[in-house]
Amino acid sequence: MTPAIEALKKAGILYKLHEYSHDAQVASYGEEAANCLNVEAERIFKTLVISGDVSDNSKQLAIAIVPVSHQLDLKAVSKSLKTKKTCMADVTAAQNATGYILGGISPLGQKKRLPFRLDSSAESYETIYVSAGRRGLQIELSPLDLIKLCNADTADITAN
């Protein structure tokens, strides 16, 4: 049981768990999930922790969720979050804020409530897959349920 699964159970949201044998030598966790689960990479979404400069020159962490088949467009997500400049958060900050390890960061059940941006492509699917909080475990759920539970906004945040 991970905090992500606990959050779904507590909220009464319908979901399916998909487990596969994680290969520690794999470089792309999302592509591994797509291959092992035989699911289109566009339906597997990776959870990225980003850091943006806000108006008082402080740093703000946020979450960007994009398909594993695409790259995050830092300018687009920065515009959506209304930050001056956005970059990937360092690993320690990401793990401390979420409570998860890299490659197993789930958008659900995180330690801190951060602003969320979900790529708008998610809305074109009945269900999508996100990390369940550990490598080798994915949650399949409705993107609308993910939006509701994470209080996420959608935006076009992938690079073309």
Strand partners, 63: 49, 116
**Domain chopping of the chain, boundaries:** 3-155
Identify the burial level of 58 via C-beta atoms within 10 angstroms of its C-beta, where 0-12 means exposed, 13-18 middle and 19 or more buried. Answer: exposed
Q: What is the CATH number of domain 3-155?
A: 3.90.960.10
pLDDT of residue 62: 93
Closest Cα to residue 116, out of 157, 155, 62, 159? 62
User: Which amino acid is present at 108?
Assistant: L
18 band by pLDDT with thresholds 50, 70 and 90 = very high
Residue 57 pLDDT exceeds 70: no
Helix (H, G, I), strand (E, B) or coil at 148: helix
Conformational region of residue 145, where left means phi above 0, alpha means psi within -120 to 50, and beta covers everything else: alpha
4 band by pLDDT with thresholds 50, 70 and 90 = very high
- What average pLDDT does the chain have? 92
Structural tokens at position 47: 């959870």
